[in-house]
Amino acid sequence: MRILSGIQPSGKLHIGNYFGMMKQAVELQKKGEAFLFIADFHSLTTNPDAADLRERVTEVAVDFLACGLDTDKVCFFRQSDVPQVCELTWMLNNVCPVGLLQRAHSYKDKVAKGFEPNNGLFSYPVLMASDILLYQSDLVPVGKDQKQHIEITRDLAIKFNERYGDVFTVPDCFIPESVAVIPGLDGQKMSKSYNNTIPIFGKEKAIRKIVMSIVTDSKGLDDPKDPDTCNVVTLYKLFASEEQVNEMKERYRAGGYGYGHAKQALFEAMQDYFAPMRKRREELLANMDYVHEILRKGAARAGAEAEKTMDKVRKAVGIR
């Protein structure tokens, strides 16, 4: 079974990235042949600054390796190092109905949030389909919000195969329901696009300040509170034991326990959870040649697999 995941270098990695995708990718590397890429082409739809993009690609590479990625088991590479993905995108554009893209929720959501409605943003699902189909992926771990994009990928694979023959593997998606959507500071899905994230790595004082800014209701210290509707408790569940979570819930209901207390407990649990990863990250930053070599080897392997697929595609459509 071949498993594929990708992540955009559009900002510092946050706990939504970690629990929604990174942790799943690290766990799934034990279950099949895994491909993982840094989606720098995708990030151009919302982050066109060149210097910023280069820096963030490096940060994502270091952060992923720090979080437990085993490059003996995973092909880890930069999307743009395999140019065949753009060639395949053009091929798929010619079997993709406009209506399929017009129904994409992600495009409508980003435009509503103020992003420029350009064609890159509109046709994002086609490039994503190329990422998946290029490597003949069987399984794609995604958050619940990305399920529609996998459905679009399946539609395009089926349409292409019906027109040109059996070229692509039709992939399935894997959605870990327990961590499908991680709430951000404002209660919406945690996303760099919404500026509501809590970073995995950074200075302790800065992260604590961010955690303390999580939006809650206006109930005072002595008031009983509902733990089942509080973002702080929802996030605390990711890091704390069941016993610790139940204790926090009891304190909420009893009163005399403020949101500030809960946020401090969340911050401390986060710091403990990510402590080994912070140590590994410092070691990687001191040996960047190793990081770049990992990406180079990954690109060579991914490129070889991509060329196998593109040879089939080109013959099928008549380019060769």
Handedness of CA 57, 59, 64, 66 (dihedral sign): positive
**Do residue 85 and residue 124 come from a single domain?**
yes
**Do residue 115 and residue 14 come from a single domain?**
yes
Percentage of the residues of the chain whose pLDDT score is greater than 70:
98
- Note if 189 is an active site residue: yes
Which range of residues forms the domain containing residue 114?
Answer: 2-182+288-317
Q: Considering 12, 31, 113, 189, which one is annotated as catalytic?
A: 189
pLDDT tens per residue across span 119-159: 998 999 999 999 999 999 999 988 777 889 999 999 999 99
Contact 258, 230 (CB under 8 A): no
CA 12 to chain centre: 12
Q: In this predicted structure, what is the pLDDT of residue 178?
A: 58
pLDDT tens per residue across span 70-94: 999 899 999 999 999 999 999 999 9
CB count, 10 Å around CB of 129?
27
Answer yes or no: is 164 within a domain.
Answer: yes
Q: In this predicted structure, what is the pLDDT of residue 181?
A: 79
Mean pLDDT of 266-274: 97
**Do residue 208 and residue 87 come from a single domain?**
no
**Do residue 73 and residue 126 come from a single domain?**
yes
**Do residue 12 and residue 90 come from a single domain?**
yes
Mean pLDDT of 180-200: 89
177 confidence band (pLDDT: 50, 70, 90):
low
Question: What CA dihedral angle connects 125, 317, 80 and 68, to 10 degrees?
Answer: 70
Mean pLDDT of 242-261: 97
**Do residue 93 and residue 235 come from a single domain?**
no
Q: Tell me the pLDDT of the chain averaged across its residues.
A: 92
**Do residue 262 and residue 308 come from a single domain?**
no
Q: Considering 12, 73, 110, 249, which one is annotated as catalytic?
A: 110
Answer yes or no: is 189 within a domain.
Answer: no
Helix axes 242-254 and 231-239, enclosed angle (nearest 10): 160
**Do residue 151 and residue 37 come from a single domain?**
yes
- Note if 308 is an active site residue: no
Q: Considering 23, 192, 225, 237, which one is annotated as catalytic?
A: 192
Percentage of the residues of the chain whose pLDDT score is greater than 90:
74
Mean pLDDT of 157-174: 96
User: Hey, what are 225's tokens?
Assistant: 């509170």
Q: In this predicted structure, what is the pLDDT of residue 179?
A: 58
User: Hey, what are 227's tokens?
Assistant: 């733990």
**Do residue 149 and residue 49 come from a single domain?**
yes
**DSSP character at residue 176:** -
Query: Among 16-25, 148-157, 291-300, where is mean pLDDT lowest?
Result: 16-25
Q: How many domains does the chain have?
A: 2
- Note if 225 is an active site residue: no
- At 197, is the secondary structure helix, strand, or coil? coil
pTM for the model stands at: 0.83
* Buried b / exposed e along 161-195 (16+ C-beta atoms within 10 A): beebeebbbbbebebbeebbbbbbbeeebbbbbee
Domain containing 147 — which CATH number?
3.40.50.620
191 confidence band (pLDDT: 50, 70, 90):
confident
Answer yes or no: is 188 within a domain.
Answer: no
Answer yes or no: is 168 within a domain.
Answer: yes
Domain containing 218 — which CATH number?
1.10.240.10
